[in-house]
Amino acid sequence: MQKNIEDTLSKVTLGEKVVPFARLHYTGKSPLFIVYSILTELPEVCSDDTPETSVVTIDIDIYAKVLQNLIETVKSVKIRFIEAGWTWIDDSPEIFENETGFIHRTITFEKERMINSWQQSV
Amino acid sequence: MAKMDYEMPEALMDKLEELVDDGVDNMFSEMAGEAGKILYSAIKENIRKSFKNPDIFLRRCVITKVYTSDKGDPIEEAKCVKISFLGYIPGSPKTKNYPKGTPVSLAAAAREYGTSTEAKRPFMRVAVSGSAGKRAVEEMKKIQEKYFPED
């Protein structure tokens, strides 16, 4: 799952530059970055009391100092994740952080997967 | 030449008309009210786990009565309840943007979605997508069965 998300994120660009990203916490200095996290994973289809598929929900958090860069990156994230078979669930409100000057928006996606891949590490 | 007759589900249509006359709105109101109560309780439970000092958030987290949505809402004339945060955090700094202090809803959103310096601890969305969400759907089905009993 991590590979799938990171492969998709590595195609998210602003101009020709890939937007830097990290899982859970970004420690770099870029004025534009993405943090992703797995929100939940819930069993969906079960047979013989055993889950066969699960639905993974992920958050893609975009932080930008410039509003236009945030807007462009949100667009690029949606295009890339939908291309990769994810379903767009919703967007958070835009939040301005007074202390850091970052504008922040969360985009949530979901994807169903077979349980044999659930047994692999997320 | 082949011939086909169409039969409309008249009994069901009569029942629906009867329900509209009797106020099918009551069914939707009941559904929204019961589902809202389940989710409200799950959200409050999650607040206890997600915040170091949950008291202010528990006090300021409110649920409305069932209301009918207006034009401009995502679905017009739907029966709804809203769970939201009201007021300001007591003793929080008063700034140009927030002259009355930090809104509780802003602090709650920062915890739900995280910030560039603080990790997220979602408590609202996980309540809806988790077992409470499933319980809410089950409860709504039960209410539907009460109005549309299976023959």
Residues A51-87 pLDDT 10s: 788 899 999 999 999 999 999 999 999 999 999 999 9
CA–CA separation, B63 and B77 (whole Å)? 19
- Would you call A63 an interface residue with chain B, using a CB distance cutoff of 8 Å? yes
| Chain B residues with beta carbon closer than 8 angstroms to that of A102 | 115-116
Q: Which residues of A touch B95 (CB under 8 A)?
A: 98
Is this complex's ipTM strictly greater than 0.90?
A: no
pTM of the model: 0.80
**Is A25's Cβ below 8 Å from some Cβ in B?**
yes
Cβ atoms within 10 Å, residue A86: 22
What local confidence, expressed as pLDDT, does residue A120 receive?
53
Tell me the chain B residues in contact with residue A99 when contact means C-beta distances shorter than 8 Å.
117
- Tell me if A83 sits within 8 A of A50, measured CB to CB: no
Q: What phi, psi does A25 have (nearest 5°)?
A: -150, 130
Q: Do A26 and B116 count as a contact with CB atoms less than 8 A apart?
A: yes
The partner residues of B53 in beta bridges, in order of sequence, read: none
Distance CA B82, CA B39 (A): 10
Q: List, in order, residues 6 or more apart from A117 with CB less than 8 Å away.
A: A1
pLDDT in tens, B33-71: 999 999 999 999 999 999 988 999 999 999 999 999 887
Is A99:A79 a contact under the CB 8 Å cutoff?
Answer: no
Enumerate the domain spans of chain B: 22-145
* pLDDT value at residue A22: 95
* A97 in reach of chain B (CB within 8 A): yes
Tell if the CB–CB gap between B115 and A97 is shorter than 8 Å: yes
pLDDT at A121: 47
